[in-house]
Every structure is written in structure tokens, then in C-alpha cells.
């Protein structure tokens, strides 16, 4: 079946109203949960083959994360679907007003390879919860996970509700030609611009979850031992292939040496003498990405630096004495390489970061609340995590998304439901007590009508 036929089938199904009821949405989310749970062991194997993920990392960042999001949605869905009543001004009385959360229609969900399961399932939960149909495109860089996703989706949904497609370059153009009602894309800023251009042709609303160079600032008041562990963990989860990973560290010069020693100690504590044999350390997704990362291995390497192209393995690497003009600072690293920069005055850091594209995440390690406030006031970002890394992404109560070149829109929890919903305003008037102030001839009221509208409106 071609892309046009798939799109037409989903459009007809959506227009039938079959996706709209609470019972239908809940039933499909429950089927999705069961299908995931049934294949949990297979998913561990697929994620290991695609990215070398260990069981614990696969569960916490992919499978458990997604199951938790389904449970959160099932607990709150009925409340999210209820129309929100609004108060009308006196001029419009008697009457009722409300805001209804309406599904857009046929949605497109495009996911990357770094979290190939979670970044398909998480937005899909929002699409289904909001009453949409969805065409899902996973990454071809994670084929084993994509194959399992197809099985899971086919078990949980009929193809006219949710359908997984795997087009390559030529087929992708055909996919983007379809007049989708909503697009959700996770990936690079470069491809995000292409998606934006395609969406603009049909004035299609969208969410873009992109990336960028997320900075990590460590001042001289921070607990360096704790900060080092939290930075190393956040950076090297999934071998650094995380859109919100700390991309570089800017540390006060007075504490840089101590922070580096604590970071080296944390690497050893987490992954041992031979990280290559650690069951908790992932692999680079492909040899092409390995080649890109190897080119960045230059400068003052103070930890790691080893790699194996054949095994798609790269050591956890710290590079010291990096300056702002280094090639390491030109684009998102997206791998297990962490540049270390130093500063003397916070004002200099803020000026440098303020001149860079807005990042997806901003990390600050400090004991001073005035530093926290000053950095947040001066440096825009998608999200902020203070004295830890990555944790702001997980809670369903916190919207997750970017700003500027790191994306637009947000999701997770209710934010996912909202992302895939149009906020439709509704005003209901009874036939009784018809207000003649609305009708001409207006000259009979002269200035009185203008005054009454201002007073009662």
C-alpha cells in the first residue's frame, strides 16, 4: 500500500469518529501496554543489538519509561478529555462557554535512533490519548527495534488507526507530501528545518524535538564529588547519544582540577577498568557515527580516548583545556566525548552562552540561589536541571521540549495530550432572553452601546 493509500485510509477512519470515545482510546492504550509487556525480553535483545544497551539502561530509559507514561495517561485521561468550563462576561449571559480538546486528525510521528523505542511510543501515547490516528516512521539505523515496534503496533492497533512505515529517502519525500493534520518530529536541527518546510506547505501544526549543545556550568560552591557523578552519569548514558546530555562543562578555574579528578573517579566507579566489557555501557549506533566522533578526538585528552571501529566502542573521554573556538564547540557532539572549559567570571560565561543557539537543556551546579536565578534569567533553554542532569525529562508533570534551534512545542504526560489536541472554544446560547443590543439599527443607541459593551464585555 502506497503512502497516499495509507493516509487516505487513516483519514477516512478518523472521520468516522472511531477514535473519539474515551473507551476506544483507553482500550487501545491498554492493548499497547500489553503488547509491550509481552515483548519485553525481545526488546532488551533488540536494543542490545542496535545500541549495545544493557538491561537496566534499556528498562529505565526506554521500556519502563514508556510503560510508566502509559499508566500515567490511563490514570488521567478521563479528566484531560473533559471540556473546561469558562465564565462568560455579563453581556453574553445567559450562556455557557467551554474549551474542548479536539484531536487534529491524521498525525505523523518521526523518531530517531538513539532511543528508538521510547521516542516512538511516548509521542504515540499522546496521539492516541488525544484521539488521533498516526503514521509512525522509526529510524532505519535501529532495525531490530523497528521490527519489534511493527509487531507491537500491529497487535495493538488496526492499520487505519496506527501504521508503521519504513521509507528510505525516496519514500520519505512521498510521506512528507501528504497533507497531515499534525507532525511530531524528533531528531536533528538540520532535518527539523526540512520537516518545517514540508509542514508549511499545508500549514500543518507541529512539534519539533531537536537538540543542540546543552551546557553544564559548575561554580566553585558545588559539591564536586556529587556533581562529578551526576555529570558523568548524564553524559555517558547511552554512550552520550542523548539529546539532553551535557554537551560541555564550563567549570570555575579554582575547582576545575578537583572536578576532573572526581570525574575520573566516577568513570572508574561506574564502568570499571575496562568499560568495553561493562554491561552498563552502550555502543555507538553505526560506523558512520564512529568516524564522525573519531575526528573529534584531539586536544588535551585526560581520560579515555580509545576506540574500536569494528565493535562500535569508544571510551568515556574527557578533553581538558578546550576553548570556545574549538571544533568540539561547533556542533552537538552526540557521543561519549566531554569537553571541559574553565572560567573566572560568570559574566563571561553568560555572554558566551548568550551568543550561542538556544539549547535543549541547561545544567547548573551551585549552592547559590542567586546564581541559579541569574543563569536562568540570562540563558534561555528548553528545560533546566539544577544540581543534577537529565532528571527533568522524566516526570509526567513536567512538559519537555525545546526552544529556538532546539525545537518548538513540548510533550510528556498531559503536555503530550495537549500537543496532539486543538483547543476548541465553544459558546452556547439559549433561545430565551435574546439580547437586542447585538442587532442594528445601532444609531438608536448612539454612544450608550459603546459604553455598555466596555462595561459588560
Residue 84 predicted with pLDDT over 80: yes
**Residue 404, class by beta-carbon neighbours within 10 Å (0-12 exposed, 13-18 middle, 19+ buried)?**
middle
Strand duo 162-164 + 133-137: pairing: parallel
Do 272 and 351 lie in one domain? The reply is yes
Do 87 and 182 lie in one domain? The reply is yes
Do 242 and 356 lie in one domain? The reply is yes
Q: Which residue has the cell 572508574?
A: 268
Residue 275 predicted with pLDDT over 80: yes
Percent of the chain with pLDDT over 90: 90
Dihedral pair phi/psi, residue 400, rounded to 5°: -120, 130
Question: Known catalytic residue: 243?
Answer: yes
Per DSSP, what are the bridge partners of residue 408? 208
Closest CA to 258 of 234, 236, 230, 226: 226
Residues 410-433 pLDDT 10s? 999 999 999 999 999 999 999 988
* Neighbouring C-beta atoms of residue 230, cutoff 10 Å: 22
Q: Which residues contact 395 (CB under 8 A, 6 or more apart)?
A: 412, 413
Closest CA to 109 of 195, 211, 43, 29: 195
| Residue 139 domain flag | yes
Number of structural domains, the chain? 2
Average pLDDT, integer, range 62-90:
96
Confidence at residue 447, expressed as pLDDT on a 0 to 100 scale = 64
- Interhelix angle 64-81/22-38, nearest 10 degrees: 170
CA atoms lying within 13 Å on the CB side of residue 262: 18
| Residue 164 domain flag | yes
| Residue 432 domain flag | no
Least confident of 75-89, 293-307, 317-331, 422-436: 422-436
In angstroms, the CA 224 to CA 366 distance is: 10
Note down the domain range covering 78: 3-210+407-423
Do 238 and 280 lie in one domain? The reply is yes
In angstroms, the CA 263 to CA 95 distance is: 63
Where residue 170 sits, what CATH number does that domain have? 3.40.605.10
Do 379 and 412 lie in one domain? The reply is no
Q: Which residue in 57, 243, 315, 342 is the catalytic one?
A: 243
Question: Known catalytic residue: 163?
Answer: no
| Residue 10 domain flag | yes
String of DSSP letters for 348-385: HHHHHHHTSPPPSEEEEE-S-HHHHHHHHHHS--SEEE
Residue 127 predicted with pLDDT over 90: yes
**Cβ proximity of 165 and 175 under 8 Å:** yes
Do 331 and 412 lie in one domain? The reply is no
Average pLDDT, integer, range 117-146:
97
Do 223 and 188 lie in one domain? The reply is no
Closest CA to 146 of 198, 110, 106: 110
Do 241 and 203 lie in one domain? The reply is no
String of DSSP letters for 267-323: HHHHH-S-GGG-TT----S-HHHHHHHHTT--SEEEE---EETTTTEE--EEEES--
Confidence at residue 433, expressed as pLDDT on a 0 to 100 scale = 86
Percent of the chain with pLDDT over 70: 96
Residue 170 predicted with pLDDT over 70: no
**Full-model pTM:** 0.94
In angstroms, the CA 457 to CA 455 distance is: 6
| Residue 127 domain flag | yes
Confidence at residue 441, expressed as pLDDT on a 0 to 100 scale = 75
Do 170 and 269 lie in one domain? The reply is no
| Residue 441 domain flag | no
Average pLDDT, integer, range 149-170:
92
Do 252 and 206 lie in one domain? The reply is no
Confidence at residue 126, expressed as pLDDT on a 0 to 100 scale = 98
| Residue 428 domain flag | no
In angstroms, the CA 11 to CA 25 distance is: 17
Q: Which residue in 209, 315, 332, 342 is the catalytic one?
A: 209
Do 127 and 254 lie in one domain? The reply is no
| Residue 25 domain flag | yes
Do 123 and 87 lie in one domain? The reply is yes
Where residue 382 sits, what CATH number does that domain have? 3.40.309.10
Amino acid at each position: 500500500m502506497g503512502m497516499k493509500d495509507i493516509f487516505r485510509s487513516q483519514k477516512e477512519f478518523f472521520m468516522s469518529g472511531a477514535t473519539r470515545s474515551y473507551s476506544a482510546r483507553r482500550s487501545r492504550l491498554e492493548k499497547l501496554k500489553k503488547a509491550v509487556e509481552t515483548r519485553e525480553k525481545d526488546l532488551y535483545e533488540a536494543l542490545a543489538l542496535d545500541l549495545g544497551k544493557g538491561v537496566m539502561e534499556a528498562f529505565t530509559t526506554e521500556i519502563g519509561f514508556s510503560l510508566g507514561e502509559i499508566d500515567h495517561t490511563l490514570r488521567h485521561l478521563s479528566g484531560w478529555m473533559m471540556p473546561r468550563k469558562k465564565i462568560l462576561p455579563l453581556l453574553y449571559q445567559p450562556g455557557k462557554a467551554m474549551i474542548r480538546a479536539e484531536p487534529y486528525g491524521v498525525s505523523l510521528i518521526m523518531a530517531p535512533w538513539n532511543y528508538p523505542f521510547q521516542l516512538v511510543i511516548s509521542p504515540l501515547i499522546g496521539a492516541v490519548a488525544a484521539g488521533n490516528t498516526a503514521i509512525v516512521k522509526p529510524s532505519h539505523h535501529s532495525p531490530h527495534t523497528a521490527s519489534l515496534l511493527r509487531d507491537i503496533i500491529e497487535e495493538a492497533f488496526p492499520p487505519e488507526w496506527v501504521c508503521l512505515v519504513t521509507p528510505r529517502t525516496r519514500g520519505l519525500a512521498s510521506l512528507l507530501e501528504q497533507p497531515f493534520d499534525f507532525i511530531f518530529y524528533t531528531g536533528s536541527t538540520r532535518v527539523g528545518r526540512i520537516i518545517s518546510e514540508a509542514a508549511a506547505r499545508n500549514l500543518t501544526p507541529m512539534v519539533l524535538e531537536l537538540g543542540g549543545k546543552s551546557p553544564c556550568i559548575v561554580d566553585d560552591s558545588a559539591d564536586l564529588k556529587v556533581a562529578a557523578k551526576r555529570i558523568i552519569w548524564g553524559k555517558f548514558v547511552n554512550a552520550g547519544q542523548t539529546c539532553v546530555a551535557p554537551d560541555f562543562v564550563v567549570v570555575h578555574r579554582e575547582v576545575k582540577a578537583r572536578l576532573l579528578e572526581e570525574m575520573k573517579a566516577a568513570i572508574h566507579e561506574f564502568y570499571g577498568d575496562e568499560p568495553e566489557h561493562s554491561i552498563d555501557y552502550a555502543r555507538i549506533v553505526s560506523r558512520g557515527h564512529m568516524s564522525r566522533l573519531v575526528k573529534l578526538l584531539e586536544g588535551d585528552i585526560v581520560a579515555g580516548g580509545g576506540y574500536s571501529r569494528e565493535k562500535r566502542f569508544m571510551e568515556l573521554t574527557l578533553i581538558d583545556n578546550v576553548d570556545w573556538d574549538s571544533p568540539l564547540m561547533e556542533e552537538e557532539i552526540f557521543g561519549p566525548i566531554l569537553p571541559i572549559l574553565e572560567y573566572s567570571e560568570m559574566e563571561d560565561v553568560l555572554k558566551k552562552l548568550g551568543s550561542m543557539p538556544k539549547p535543549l537543556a541547561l545544567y547548573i551546579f551551585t549552592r547559590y540561589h542567586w546564581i541559579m536565578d541569574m543563569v536562568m534569567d540570562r540563558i534561555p533553554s528548553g528545560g533546566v536541571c539544577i544540581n543534577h542532569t537529565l532528571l527533568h525529562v522524566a516526570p509526567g508533570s513536567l512538559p519537555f521540549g525545546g526552544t529556538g534551534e532546539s525545537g518548538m512545542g513540548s510533550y510528556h504526560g498531559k503536555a503530550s495530550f495537549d500537543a496532539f489536541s486543538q483547543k476548541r472554544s465553544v459558546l452556547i446560547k439559549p433561545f430565551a432572553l435574546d439580547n437586542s443590543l447585538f442587532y442594528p439599527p445601532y444609531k438608536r443607541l448612539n454612544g450608550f452601546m459603546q459604553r455598555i459593551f466596555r462595561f459588560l464585555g
